[in-house]
């Protein structure tokens, strides 16, 4: 269902407000660069600092701009089940292809609580769900066994795995079945993830280098891991530089250097330090994206 490179789309701002014109231009650019789909209002889209109305506006504008040419997986996560249901129902209403739902953060549910949360979301509408498992941010790890239970539900179809544990791919193939789509949230190991059964990446770096990230994915899907490795080597300094500080800040700075959008982020995030800017600039040059 979902394969390839899916940029975890940044949300551009201008003077503190949504910059919807730039957002639309980014959608067109990503389509032209070969991205397989788009994921608006995840953490990279600064969902924690968007109002509910802004969140829904971004999803609607991205779906409208994509116009069915590539799928839009709308961020719909919350640690409040009712709030997540609202986001899912809105995403379905405006035509998103699926919802990305992070494991509930801060309140630390049990595995039984995770099953209850995702089952309620599954039942609230007809939209397919991509589980987002990122214990480093949510402080809760969905086990492969729990994911296997949820995968029995017909509309829980995929995972964005940001555990950093490549063994999870094989473990989840056993518990969830081979048709369950596994996408990585870790740019630096995306090629290796696919080598053991993954099908793609929801990528921060693809905001900056969508063509190169898509080419890595295309090479792995063709079984050409030698080419994928060469491309990944080219991207590695940029991957590392972007994640020196929060990834979306690094991505927005890099995009500003390429004339794509402002580097503006919302508090409590701040602009990059000068030292990190140098690293990002070097990464852009190494990848051939800037002189």
Q: How far is the C-alpha of 126 from the C-alpha of 254, rounded, in Å?
A: 37
**First-last CA distance in the chain:** 38
Q: Which residues touch 143 (CB under 8 Å, ≥6 apart)?
A: 111
Candidates 105, 118, 160, 253; catalytic one: 160
CA separation, residue 242 to residues 74, 235, 238, 245 (Å): 23, 11, 6, 7
Give me the catalytic one of 105, 118, 132, 253: 132
Q: Which residues contact 117 (CB under 8 A, 6 or more apart)?
A: 81, 84, 104, 109
3-state secondary structure of 184: strand
Non-local CB neighbours of 83 within 8 Å, separated by 6+ positions: 52
Respond yes or no: is residue 132 known to be catalytic. yes
Q: CB under 8 Å, gap of 24 or more: what pairs does 221-229 form?
A: 221/3, 221/4, 221/194, 225/191, 225/195, 228/191, 228/194, 229/191
Nearest to 82 by CA among 48, 116, 51, 50: 116
Question: How many residues are there in the chain?
Answer: 291
Assess whether 160 carries a catalytic annotation. yes
Nearest to 156 by CA among 197, 83, 94, 101: 101
Cross-strand pairs, 38: 72
CB distance 215 to 209 below 8 Å: no
224/40 Cα distance (integer angstroms): 30
Q: Which residues carry out catalysis?
A: 132, 160
């Amino acid at each position: 269902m979902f394969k390839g490179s899916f940029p975890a789309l940044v949300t551009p701002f201008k003077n503190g407000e949504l910059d919807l014109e730039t957002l639309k231009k980014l959608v067109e650019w990503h389509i032209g660069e070969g991205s397989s789909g788009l994921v608006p209002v995840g953490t990279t889209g600064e969902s924690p600092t968007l109002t509910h109305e802004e969140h829904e506006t971004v999803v609607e504008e991205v779906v409208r701009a994509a116009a069915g040419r590539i799928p839009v997986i709308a961020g719909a996560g919350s640690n409040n089940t009712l709030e997540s249901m609202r986001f899912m129902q809105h995403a379905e209403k405006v035509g998103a292809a699926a919802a990305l739902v992070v494991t509930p953060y801060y309140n630390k549910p049990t595995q039984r609580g995770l099953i209850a949360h995702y089952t309620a979301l599954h039942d609230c509408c007809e939209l397919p769900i991509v589980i987002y498992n990122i214990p480093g941010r949510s402080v809760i790890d969905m086990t492969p066994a729990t994911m296997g239970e949820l995968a029995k539900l017909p509309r829980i179809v995929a995972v964005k795995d940001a555990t950093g544990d490549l063994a999870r791919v094989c473990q989840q193939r056993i518990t969830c079945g081979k048709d369950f789509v596994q996408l990585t949230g870790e740019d630096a190991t995306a090629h290796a993830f696919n080598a053991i059964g993954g099908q793609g990446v929801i990528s921060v770096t693809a905001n900056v280098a969508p063509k190169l990230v898509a080419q890595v994915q295309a090479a792995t899907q063709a079984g050409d891991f030698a080419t994928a490795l060469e491309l990944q080597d080219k991207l590695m300094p940029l991957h590392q530089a972007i994640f020196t500080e929060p990834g979306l800040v690094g991505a927005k700075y890099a995009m500003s250097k390429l004339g794509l959008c402002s580097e503006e982020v919302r508090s409590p995030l701040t602009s990059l330090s000068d030292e990190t800017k140098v690293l990002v600039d070097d990464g852009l040059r190494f990848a051939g994206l800037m002189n």
